[in-house]
Structure 1
Amino acid sequence: MPLEIVTIPCLSDNYAYLVNGPDGVALIDAPEAGPIIAALEERGWSLGVIMITHHHHDHVGAVAELKEKYGCMVMGPEAEKDKLPPLDFALPDGFSGGNGDGLCQVMSVPGHTLGHIAYYYPKANAIFTADSLMALGCGRLFEGTPEMMHESLSKLAALPPETMIYSGHEYTASNAKFALTIEPDNADLISRSEAIAEDRRNNRPTVPASLSLELATNPFLRASEMSVRRQLGMIDATDTEVFAEIRARKDSF
């Protein structure tokens, strides 16, 4: 049974995801109950488990209401269990479970928060990255360091290029404008930016995106590229130093 993945816009710019597979229906993050309940009822699905990526309120705000309504399990990062709603199961890095395309692996991707995790479905070529790797961007370093986030992104960048990246926010249009300040002559980025503008004019989500597309256009994955280094005047810097400069520029963009 292949996975059926439903993208659910929540709040002003968040995304939650329903994942229906051989083991039932899972929800990746719970920003807002109303749209999630509507998506479930529209399909006649019941919710089996909520899988949290990190402790920020815009990713866990609806956990209590959904658990009360559906009696579902709640899972989340073991490293953040003291900051999360009560967990039925705390997930360590490297944990895996599920059957067939529903096989899911927990990946530690700290940087945005110290215990942030991603949910990787290798047989389905899908990963839910929330506020670590994002479409044309990455999350702000609220708790971690540039070294930590760069290491996390490098781990994600090493996945198969056909992997689809399901991130947590609709920030892609603003991310594209920033990315063009780093690589104004990147033809793939220019083309992607035009497609993003068209999607947003028609109120279409810009996620998911393939890892191959992110590798070709996302400045936070391109610290080793000479075009990026020349633009920043950092030819001889380390990749982590280049990443830190890009992140600092995005913070004040």
Structure 2
Amino acid sequence: MSKPVLYTYSMSVWAAVPELALIELGYTEKDVEKKTVNLREGENFNPAFLKINPNATVPASTAEVTKYLVQNAKSQIKAGSSLIAKIHEDLYDPNFPRLLARDDDELSAKAGGFQHDFLANRQKALDKYSVTEDAAVHKEFYDNKLAGNAHVLSIYQSKVTDDVKNGFFEQSKAHWDALRSFILDILPAHLPNSGFIGGAKPGEDDFHVAAWLARIASVSGAKRTEEGFEELEKEVGVPIPERVAKYWNAWIQRESWKMVYQDGLH
């Protein structure tokens, strides 16, 4: 029987979920094969990968992959709850904050950095793969991705009207408002006074929450774990709830966290 394959990328927020689970649950490289898909170069838009995952995401399905790892692990942990679906809602998307901009200063800073290159590389990959023979069966997917990515790229390149740009600013502000609400109101209601949602050790929910928090700390300006919580609090603008603070501190002491985020938060 062949080993299950985990499609991953080191800077992917959702790929960090099964990566944490693999370590916490005691899996080894003999148990699961890893294959890297370079999201920065748009490799996930290759028709060959779309055959594996029509949504072009890494991993193929964070929730399903992680659940598989939990259910097939030698050690038992607490199964996931409705919190997993909640944290994966578009309203709390941790990927959009990498690209959003709330004013001209933030847009200018990102337009001169990684974000612009990321969008430009995606567009180049989409242009390349969308005209291949194997792409025909994924025409709707490519059409939507080409238009959506080109729209944001055009904002970065100052090729839109002020109304379009200001609309993007408002969308960005609204998204951060939703993230703050999750951190300040929704998440604390799911967290215990100490430890993890899964108890003394992380459960299925915890893998998703940990990766989400790490990404939000990262887009708040933190590069390393040591400064993550401080930068997160600055971005939110008010003291982080005590339960969230304790939860963060519980996670950053875990060996799994140290291994997944050894090169910095992402």
What TM-score, normalized by structure 2, do the two folds share?
Answer: 0.31
Structure (1/2) with the larger helix percentage: 2
For CA contacts below 8 A with separation 6 or more, give which structure has more relative contact order. Answer: 2
Select the structure of larger CA radius of gyration: 2
